[in-house]
Amino acid sequence: VKKKIDLHTHSSASDGLLSPSELVDHAVANGVSALALTDHDTVDGLDEALEHAGRLGLEFIPGVEFSVEYPRGSFHLVGLHVDHAHEELLEALRELKKFRDSRAERIILDLKSCGVDIPLDDVLSEAGGAPIGKPHFARVMVRFGFAANVEEVFLNYLVDGKPGDVKKEKIELSRAIGLIRKAGGIPVLAHPVSLEFASFRELEDMIPGMIEMGLEGIEAYACMHTPEQVDAILDIGRRHGLLVTGGSDFHGDGKVEIGSYGDGRKFPAELLDELRTYRMKSAARRI
Ligand code: AMP
Ligand code: FE
Ligand code: FE
Ligand code: ZN
């Protein structure tokens, strides 16, 4: 049996539904042998996940996922193998959490002005101390009967100029890349299709500038990507000497399977070997 890996997942430390320990259990139960937890703008789930993975003998990669300033679509930057006790990284994450807190208040007001009255306190307790994300709002809105399920919320609210679509302040790409690297991690451009580029040419033209800033990897294998997009992004990554990664972006909400990038597609096992080799080489370079 082919070993399964997954280099992009979420827990309840951000907007996922499973606790870090439950995520690790779920990965093991589904035959995943190497897992990265990459929560949105937080590393708070990593201690628990690391400890639990250690008990179960699962190879665990501490990670994080930044939402980065970008004029359209959404730009997500994953950091793999970050030192989650790095003070400068923690300070930046505290700052981003404050941005999300203030956006939450504005989302409440915006929804209210459109007739959707939900209490901020319910959203806060839904988040349970995690950086507040739109999925926390969506779950509360379902509970209050504004939609049948979370999917339906995202069709009518919180996105694309609809009620509750309030932009959050985000971190600059160069700063996010720098923080990940200072914390010993590998910065990876996540699911590049979310950048909403008009052509692969346009994506490719952006890559050298990002490499200049310190980008080291690209997530070619992602649920968001069609098979053609996987191939094209893989090709771009290889030609520019980037580490190629893959992840499910699992949130525990039943939309995607852990250890797969959709439709039962499994990540090539070489990705993990390449990550290991890359890490050894870059550690050697730092000495
Ligand atoms: P935020 O980081 O608070 O801006 O929220 C973005 C998060 O909302 C993403 O990471 C997803 O987990 C979730 N999300 C955004 N759009 C959708 C959608 N159309 N359907 C389901 N979840 C979504
Ligand atoms: Fe999310
Ligand atoms: Fe993402
Ligand atoms: Zn993600």
Q: Give one word for 158, left, alpha or beta, with left for phi > 0 and alpha for psi -120 to 50.
A: left
Q: Say what the pTM is.
A: 0.96
Calculate the average pLDDT of the chain. 97
For residue 141, CA distances in Å to 50, 120, 135 come to: 33, 11, 10
Q: How far is the CA of 8 from the centre of ligand 3 (A)?
A: 8
Q: Which atom of ligand 1 is nearest to the CA of 41?
A: 2
For residue 287, pLDDT over 80 is answered with no
Half-sphere exposure of 247 (CA within 13 A, CB side): 31
Could you tell me the distance, in angstroms and rounded to a whole number, from the CA of residue 220 to the centre of ligand 4?
14
Strands (E), 42-183: 59-68, 75-80
What distance in angstroms lies between residue 247's CA and the mean position of ligand 4's atoms? 8
pLDDT in tens, 156-208: 999 999 999 999 999 999 999 999 999 999 999 999 999 999 999 999 999 99
Atom of ligand 1 nearest to the CA of 15: 12
Pocket test for ligand 1, best of 75, 105, 123, 134 (most atoms within 8 A of CB): 134
Question: Residue 52's CB: how many other CB atoms inside 10 A?
Answer: 19
d(CA 138, ligand 1 centre) in Å: 9
Q: Whose CA is nearest to atom 13 of ligand 1?
A: 135
**What CA–CA distances, in Å, run from 138 to 34, 77, 111, 130, 135?**
31, 23, 11, 15, 5
Task: Indicate whether 43 pLDDT > 70.
Answer: yes
- Please identify, by atom number, the ligand 1 atom nearest to the C-alpha of residue 131: 3
Q: pLDDT of 49-95, one tens digit each? A: 999 999 999 999 999 999 999 999 999 999 999 999 999 999 999 99
**Ligand 1 shell residues, CB under 6 Å:** 15, 40, 67, 133-135, 154, 159, 251
Residue with CA at minimum distance from ligand 1 atom 17: 154
Kindly give the number of the ligand 1 atom that is closest to the alpha carbon of 132: 3
Which atom of ligand 1 is least distant from the CA of 67?
Answer: 2
Ligand nearest to the CA of 157: 1
